[in-house]
DNA sequence: TTGTACGCGTTATCAA
DNA sequence: TTGATAACGCGTACAA
């Protein structure tokens, strides 16, 4: 059993109140006894019980964080950003995964209630509608990161999907591409819609009309699989470039190109979204849209702590950045691309 | 403020003791009142306070988990495995990162003590020696995963580095390679040593003597950088194959080969260790040694819960598996490899 | 300057 | 079958 202030009190021959005050540096206690008790506490290996403190203060200094899966190279950095801010402020994080399972997500929220977390942060939730029913009962602030549901939530931090998609599409347009495919993700309706809009807007600003045949929504599967599946349509529609919903989709497409002997970027330019590490490991390296993942987490946690401090906060929308690497290049005619292709292989 | 049993008691017109019993299904309470109170509790949105329960039971149903960084594609799956087991058992995890910073790791352990976690799980710690001093004071069980320090610890789960390295080296030997380099990681002395031993043993069992010039320990840097840096020595020593400490190192080496126009596996076979996702995204895909990451986490948590249940446990050492992909191939003579190289490019 | 008494939300013991 | 009371570890209002 851990040492308590009563144990110290007994040894020091004072009341536990005095010990409490001495340890908290209460000026009412004489310098002598304060000194003596603090030393005693150290000797006895005293560590205050956050449990008891929480019961009294009605604050656990604890944040519940729910993510879809920790095995996501994107989310992981969001968590790290949040963790850093929390740790510095003396808060601890309960991390729980929902695996996009509504039941599990509800269970997680209930666990958080039992544990009396001071606030909840949710990333990329696709079951936001469920919250609204629970929301009334949950009294703690809920901050959403890259929320995937339509509807107004109290607090949210998100990336500017529209602007990011515009950047990506403009990049391809600048390179001379005219038949640009969009490989979407139907299971993330909100961000997918926003990115599609950015894509469409960039096209129309360039005086092009959107060809619905170039908007591809492969059936369910992993991001990687959907990327692979999209190649057939892209080829059939004579696309010379593709903007993918995210990097994993882009990598899937890239791998399929390798398999079918289609050279990237000579025959097809590919751009992703997210800027996860593996984008640097592919051949060619992946041009992509960088999301400030770490900052997203930091901001969400900062916002949360402000809320707990009674401060007013505003929703945040962070801009993306274009990262040009090797998977995109000037559009070529058929002949040009074949020659370039051969040259690149020598 | 959340609803308490006293609130319910007041509404129900009974004592809070009765409410507590009714909610816990105590058979001493009449079926009628039990029913009535449970319904009332549901209506009022009552959720028991884990904080208060913990204070009394001296159990928080909480596990502290410390990892070096969450941005590690290997560790992430370990955490997921642990999380799954914990969640099923009603335990929650406090996840904290140490960034290989001894001070921070000490701070994390102190936080865990304050929070009265029931046990602590530590992965890939390189500051194990620090624990021994704190260890005496910490009364909770500590389970180590892939511990990087020499010395006997109470409980540990680890992968069989020696066997994995043997597998890797034997694979290269079977392919006809004789000059096989080992690209190590000096900053993980224990696992690096074990993998080096496995490598050496496989060589000697094949009747070869280890050439120290082929054991490469690039100076500090990221895994990726060290992989890149190793190419020069590998070429100078006429290595036809390389066994890398981990996948990131192997990927670094692979990227450097691309940059210098050295084709893999025609001119150099490369094998990694870990089997992280990005190993599937490279060109060629990476042959590697699979570590049961998820299982490692599951096992560690299972062991922890057993300990908390007073059961005896035994240290675990899990075997690795060889995953053959495209980055390794039959050893070729210089001429052969150049021809194969050209062929592959057509 | 220090001590007494109480309460945070819950469960366990004892009494009714 | 139910209720009063104490206890878990801590902080604080009030009293001395």
Domain count, chain A: 3
Residues A335 and A231 in one domain: yes
Residue A57 covered by a domain:
no
Residue B57 covered by a domain:
no
The percentage of residues in chain B with a pLDDT greater than 70, rounded to a whole number, is: 91
Question: What is the C-alpha to C-alpha distance for residues A184 and A216, in angstroms, rounded to an integer?
Answer: 6
| Burial label, A210 (beta-carbon count in 10 A; 0-12, 13-18, 19+) | middle
In contact, A230 and A255? CB cutoff 8 Å? no
DSSP 3-state of B94 = strand
Residue B136 covered by a domain:
yes
What is the Cα gyration radius of chain A? 27
Question: What is the C-alpha to C-alpha distance for residues A258 and A247, in angstroms, rounded to an integer?
Answer: 16
What per-residue confidence (pLDDT) applies to B64?
Answer: 97
Q: In what order do the strands lie in the sheet with A241-244?
A: A215-216, A180-183, A241-244, A269-271
* D8 C1' to A190 CA distance, Å: 48
Q: How many CB atoms lie within 10 A of CB A24?
A: 10
Check which CATH number belongs to the domain holding A31 and give it.
Answer: 1.10.260.40
Question: What is the C-alpha to C-alpha distance for residues A337 and A284, in angstroms, rounded to an integer?
Answer: 16
Question: What is the C-alpha to C-alpha distance for residues A248 and A274, in angstroms, rounded to an integer?
Answer: 9
Check B113 against A251: CB less than 8 A apart. Answer: no
Q: Which domain holds residue B333?
A: 161-287+324-345
Least confident of A73-82, A121-130, A265-274, A292-301: A121-130
Q: How many CB atoms lie within 10 A of CB A205?
A: 12
Find and list the nucleotides of strand C having atoms within 7 Å of a protein beta carbon: 1-5, 7-13
Residue B16 covered by a domain:
yes
A positions 154-193 inside 8 Å of B (CB): none
In contact, A23 and A48? CB cutoff 8 Å? yes
Phi, psi values for residue B339, rounded to 5°: -65, -50
pLDDT in tens, A110-153: 999 999 999 999 987 766 555 555 656 678 999 999 987 666 56
User: What's the average model confidence in pLDDT over A246-265?
Assistant: 97
Q: Enter the DSSP assignment of B188.
A: S
Q: Which of A124-133, A161-170, B145-154 is modeled with the greatest confidence?
A: A161-170
Query: What is the average pLDDT value for chain B, to the nearest integer?
Result: 91
Least confident of A13-22, A126-135, A287-296, B92-101: A126-135
Asked whether the whole model's pTM tops 0.75, one would answer yes
Does any CB of chain A come closer than 8 Å to the CB of residue B60?
Answer: yes
pLDDT in tens, A311-335: 999 999 999 999 999 999 998 766 5
Residues A304 and A274 in one domain: no
Check A47 against B73: CB less than 8 A apart. Answer: no
- Is pLDDT above 90 for B265? yes
Which nt has its C1' nearest the CA of B58?
D8
Residues B195 and B334 in one domain: yes
Q: Enter the DSSP assignment of A181.
A: E
**For chain B, how long is the longest CA-to-CA vector?**
93
**By CA distance, what is B283's nearest residue in A?**
A283
Judging contacts by C-beta atoms under 8 Å, the chain A residues touching residue B70 are: 70, 76, 79-80, 83
Residue B251 covered by a domain:
yes
Query: What is the average pLDDT value for chain A, to the nearest integer?
Result: 91
* D13 C1' to B121 CA distance, Å: 42
Q: Which of B47, B57, B62, B104 to mutate to test the interface with A (most CBs of A within 10 A)?
A: B47
Residue matched to tokens 């500090």:
B220
Q: Is the CB of A5 under 7 A from strand D?
A: yes
CA separation, residue B33 to residues A94, B7, B19, B37 (Å): 36, 16, 9, 6
What per-residue confidence (pLDDT) applies to B56?
Answer: 95
Q: Is the CB of B49 under 7 A from strand D?
A: no
**By CA distance, what is A293's nearest residue in B?**
B71
User: What's the average model confidence in pLDDT over B189-194?
Assistant: 93
Check which CATH number belongs to the domain holding B216 and give it.
Answer: 3.40.50.2300
What is the Cα gyration radius of chain B? 27
Residues A280 and A184 in one domain: yes
Q: Which of B70, B73, B270 to mutate to test the interface with A (most CBs of A within 10 A)?
A: B70
In contact, B271 and B171? CB cutoff 8 Å? yes
pLDDT in tens, B230-239: 999 999 999 9
Judging contacts by C-beta atoms under 8 Å, the chain A residues touching residue B282 are: 281-283
- B178-206 burial string, b = 16+ CB within 10 Å, else e? ebbbbbbbeebebbbebbbebbbbbbeee
Q: How many CA atoms lie within 13 A of B57 on its CB side?
A: 12
Residues B207 and B166 in one domain: yes
- Please list, in sequence order, all residues whose beta carbon lies within 8 angstroms of the beta carbon of residue A58, skipping any fewer than 6 positions away: A116, B1
Phi, psi values for residue B237, rounded to 5°: -95, 10
**A337 vs chain B: nearest CA distance in angstroms?**
15
- Is pLDDT above 60 for B129? no
Residue A54 covered by a domain:
no
**B77 vs chain A: nearest CA distance in angstroms?**
6
The percentage of residues in chain A with a pLDDT greater than 90, rounded to a whole number, is: 78
What per-residue confidence (pLDDT) applies to B161?
Answer: 97
pLDDT in tens, B152-187: 567 999 999 999 999 999 999 999 999 999 999 998
pLDDT in tens, B316-335: 999 999 999 999 999 876 65
Does any CB of chain B come closer than 8 Å to the CB of residue A60?
Answer: yes
Does any CB of chain A come closer than 8 Å to the CB of residue B229?
Answer: no
Q: Which of B115, B118, B227, B338 to mutate to test the interface with A (most CBs of A within 10 A)?
A: B115
Find and list the nucleotides of strand D having atoms within 7 Å of a protein beta carbon: 1-5, 7-13
Residues B122 and B267 in one domain: no
Residues B170 and B239 in one domain: yes
* C4 C1' to A292 CA distance, Å: 56
End-to-end CA distance of chain B: 72
Residues A95 and A135 in one domain: yes
Say which residue, B132 or A183, is predicted with more confidence: A183
Check A51 against B51: CB less than 8 A apart. Answer: yes
What per-residue confidence (pLDDT) applies to B339?
Answer: 60
Residues A302 and A270 in one domain: no
Residues A218 and A332 in one domain: yes
- Is pLDDT above 70 for B144? yes
Residues B105 and B199 in one domain: no
Residues A215 and A329 in one domain: yes
Does any CB of chain A come closer than 8 Å to the CB of residue B95?
Answer: yes
């Amino acid at each position: 059993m851990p040492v308590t202030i009563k144990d110290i009190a007994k040894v020091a021959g004072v009341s536990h109140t005095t010990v409490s005050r001495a340890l908290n540096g209460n000026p009412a206690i004489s310098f002598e006894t304060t000194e003596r008790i603090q030393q005693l506490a150290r000797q006895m290996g005293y560590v205050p019980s956050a449990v008891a403190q929480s019961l009294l203060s009605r604050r656990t200094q604890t944040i519940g964080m729910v993510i879809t899966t920790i095995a996501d190279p994107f989310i992981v950095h969001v968590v790290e950003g949040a963790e850093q801010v929390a740790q510095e402020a003396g808060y601890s994080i309960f991390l729980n995964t929902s695996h996009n399972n509504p039941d599990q997500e509800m269970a997680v929220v209930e666990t958080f209630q039992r544990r009396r977390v001071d606030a909840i942060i949710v990333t990329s939730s696709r079951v936001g509608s469920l919250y609204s029913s629970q929301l009334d009962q949950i009294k703690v602030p809920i901050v959403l990161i890259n929320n995937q549901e339509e509807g107004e939530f109290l607090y949210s931090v998100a990336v500017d999907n529209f602007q990011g998609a515009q950047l990506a599409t403009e990049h391809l347009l600048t390179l001379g591409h005219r038949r640009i495919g969009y490989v979407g993700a139907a299971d993330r309706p909100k961000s997918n819609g926003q990115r599609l809009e950015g894509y469409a807007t960039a096209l129309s600003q360039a005086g092009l009309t959107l060809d619905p045949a170039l908007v591809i929504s492969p059936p369910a599967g992993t991001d990687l699989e959907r990327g692979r599946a999209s190649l057939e349509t892209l080829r059939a529609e004579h696309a010379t470039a593709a903007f993918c919903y995210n990097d994993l989709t882009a990598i899937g497409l890239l791998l399929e190109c390798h398999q079918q002997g289609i050279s990237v970027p000579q025959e097809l330019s590919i751009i992703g979204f997210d800027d996860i590490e593996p984008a640097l490991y592919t051949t060619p390296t992946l041009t992509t849209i960088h999301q400030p993942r770490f900052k997203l987490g930091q901001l969400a946690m900062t916002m949360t702590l402000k809320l707990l401090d009674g401060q007013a906060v505003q929703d945040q929308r962070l801009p993306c950045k274009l990262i040009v690497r090797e998977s995109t290049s000037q559009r070529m005619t058929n002949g040009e691309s074949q020659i370039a292709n051969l040259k690149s292989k020598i």
